[in-house]
Amino acid sequence: MLANIGKIGYHTRMKIRLNQLRMKLDHTDADLQDAVQKALTGRARGVEVLRRSVDARSAAFPPAWIYQLEIEVGDDFDCSMVKNSAPAPDALEAYSLATIAPQKRPIVVGAGPAGLIAALTLAEAGAKPLVIERGDSTDERSRKVAKFWNAGALDTESNTLYGEGGAGLFSDGKLTARSKDRKRLRRFFEVLVECGAPAEILTASDPHVGTDVLRKVIPALRTRIESLGGEVRFNTRMECVILEDGKLVGVQINGEEIDTDACFLAVGHSARDVYTMLHDCGVALEAKPFAVGVRAEIPQDQIARSQYGRWWDHPGLPAASFRLTRREEKSTRACYSFCMCPGGEVIACSNSEGEITTNGMSYHARNSGWGNAAFLVPVGEKDFVRYTAQGVPAELAGIEFQRDMEQRAFKAAGENYALPVQRMPEFLAGMDATDLPRERSCTRAAAANLRDVLPKFVVGTLQATLSKMLRGMRGVDFDSILLYGAETRSSAPVRILRDETQQSTTAAGLFPCGEGSGYAGGIVSSAIDGMKAAEFFVETQAE
């Protein structure tokens, strides 16, 4: 879809926003141009698409594309005469950084979204960061993950959770953005496009990249960092932070001590050994609430029918998705869908021997034939008491809560890194697991009773709420839904306490960022978090 149409010279640069322009699903660029000219009585000049989304709310009328446009018009244009128009806001200030040359090289730990964008920001400012990643580069990591999915061969240092690209490399690549930080948001999306992501993410209301495209974007981003003087080392672990008088003075990497006064800790939500090391070093942490549950897989055509009605198979429609919530009730906790992957796959994840968890993934085309989403129940410190009673530090007790479920899931599915799965009607009725359909996205799976995997209160909440939540999706056959367990890594179980400068409250120079910090969640917020941490460092060095 076009980004600019009908762009010709004009005597003014006045711009307006035109909102809620409705177009048929199969419209052409020429149709859009005609509609804009009609709405503005022929006075449109340069036209830029800012956002487009599908409106499928009506069962009586076919879905349609809804556009938000920015249009150049004459200086005598009166917005009050055109429905859904308003003067355009001021253009975003260009993203810029000071140039610095720090005496000590900054270290970035982790090559996920937060780490890579922090490293790029530092490199663009001239800081020449050293990026260390415990896992492999994208290509080698992908080969090892394929062996894990096909044969259960786990590499505990390079897997679905560790390695270049972070846990998000094997995901839907959703770019959900609730941030109001328009300048950094635009900057991040432009970087992705410059590294090979589709330009449509700049205008889509629900942008996503897909695992297949991310495998090309991430190495290109790494190459860009290296071209600016940065260095990236794979299969390299940070073993310890070295502190003196509450300040970072160095890090230990693969047995080598490196002097530095700035470390950007972007290790992701699954680096449990890092949390333990930080606790032992006296870095302030706290237990953080998160959520656990199951991942439900539903035939994608049923999801499409529920969302698009009789137009469900129109080729102009994107893969249908959903978002469901259920409030807390007297006898059950809240429940909500999370990380919905249209046309995706359910995948097995692990970074520790004898443990298994699950997640969702999709390719850019989102055409697998299945959709999946986690259904999660919130958990918090009151649920971790049994582990603190066993001597686990309160700050780390959430990790043990996760580990307990993951070990039970591993055992329930045969102790070979397959996923335990149960038909939803069996789970809701409290029945034993019987069999599994041959047609499903995750082939290395075993029929198992998920109530043997999940805590009782999670089972009770899911049994009471799942059918109520899904009942509103007309056309979805409950008998066709599979539940995979357990979904345990929805967010970090620990928060690394930091101040308004994004530095640790007990270790100046240590910048926790991204999902592993406990202050961000998802690709976009993690990247922005890493960007902000790097910017603060650049600003202080430039003073």
Q: Are residues 124 and 63 in the same domain?
A: no
Structure confidence at residue 176 (pLDDT)? 82
Q: Are residues 325 and 207 in the same domain?
A: no
Structure confidence at residue 222 (pLDDT)? 98
Question: What mean pLDDT comes out for the span 161-172?
Answer: 96
Which of 27-31, 45-49, 108-112, 508-512 is least confident? 45-49
The one-letter amino acid at 6: G
Q: How confident is the model at residue 181 (pLDDT cuts 50, 70, 90)?
A: confident
Q: Are residues 196 and 130 in the same domain?
A: yes
The answer for residues whose C-beta is within 8 angstroms of residue 89's C-beta and 6 or more apart is 17
- The answer to whether 127 and 106 are in contact (CB under 8 A) is yes
Structure confidence at residue 94 (pLDDT)? 85
Task: Give the helix/strand (H/E) hosting 246.
Answer: none
Query: What are the CB-based long-range contacts (under 8 Å, 24+) for 307-315?
Result: 307/56, 307/473, 308/56, 308/63, 309/56, 309/59, 311/25, 311/56, 311/62, 311/63, 314/25, 314/26, 314/62, 314/63
For residue 272, CA distances in Å to 9, 101, 351 come to 58, 33, 10
User: Which structure tokens are listed for 5?
Assistant: 């149409």
> What is the residue-averaged pLDDT of the chain?
94
Q: Are residues 313 and 414 in the same domain?
A: yes
CATH number at residue 67: 3.30.70.2700
198-256 per-position pLDDT tens digit: 999 999 999 999 999 999 999 999 999 999 999 999 999 999 999 999 999 999 999 99
Rg (alpha carbons) of the chain, rounded to whole number: 25
Q: Are residues 470 and 398 in the same domain?
A: yes
The segment with the largest mean pLDDT, out of 92-101, 176-185, 321-330, is: 321-330
Question: What mean pLDDT comes out for the span 441-468?
Answer: 97
Q: Is residue 156 part of a domain?
A: yes
Indicate whether 5 pLDDT > 60. no
Indicate whether 50 pLDDT > 70. yes
Q: Is residue 92 part of a domain?
A: no
> Residue 192 in 3-state DSSP?
helix
- For residue 452, the 8-state DSSP code is G
Structure confidence at residue 14 (pLDDT)? 83
Question: What mean pLDDT comes out for the span 468-472?
Answer: 94
Q: Is residue 102 part of a domain?
A: no
Structure confidence at residue 13 (pLDDT)? 61
- The answer to whether 219 and 137 are in contact (CB under 8 A) is yes
Q: Is residue 101 part of a domain?
A: no
Of the candidates 177, 173, 169, 172, the one whose C-alpha atom is nearest the C-alpha of residue 205 is 177
- The answer to whether 307 and 329 are in contact (CB under 8 A) is no
Structure confidence at residue 101 (pLDDT)? 94
Q: Are residues 334 and 479 in the same domain?
A: yes
Q: Is residue 464 part of a domain?
A: yes
CB atoms within 10 A of CB 393: 16
Q: Are residues 366 and 333 in the same domain?
A: yes
Q: Is residue 93 part of a domain?
A: no
Q: Are residues 308 and 185 in the same domain?
A: no
Q: Which structural domain, as residue segments, surrounds residue 265?
A: 107-286+493-542
Q: Are residues 217 and 344 in the same domain?
A: no
Domain end marker among 37, 56, 87: 87
pTM: predicted TM-score of the whole model, two decimal places? 0.94
Question: What mean pLDDT comes out for the span 486-513?
Answer: 97
Domain end marker among 87, 115, 150: 87
Q: How confident is the model at residue 10 (pLDDT cuts 50, 70, 90)?
A: very low
The total number of structural domains that make up the chain: 3
Structure confidence at residue 7 (pLDDT)? 39
Indicate whether 71 pLDDT > 50. yes
E-assigned strands of 380-512? 419-423, 445-447, 482-487, 494-496, 510-512
Q: Is residue 151 part of a domain?
A: yes
Of the candidates 20, 3, 18, the one whose C-alpha atom is nearest the C-alpha of residue 57 is 20
Q: Are residues 325 and 355 in the same domain?
A: yes
- The answer to whether 483 and 296 are in contact (CB under 8 A) is yes
Domain end marker among 87, 121, 147: 87
Q: Are residues 57 and 139 in the same domain?
A: no
Of the candidates 451, 466, 473, 465, the one whose C-alpha atom is nearest the C-alpha of residue 329 is 465
366-395 per-position pLDDT tens digit: 999 999 999 999 999 999 999 999 999 999
CATH number at residue 134: 3.50.50.60
The one-letter amino acid at 461: T
Q: Are residues 126 and 208 in the same domain?
A: yes
Q: Is residue 436 part of a domain?
A: yes
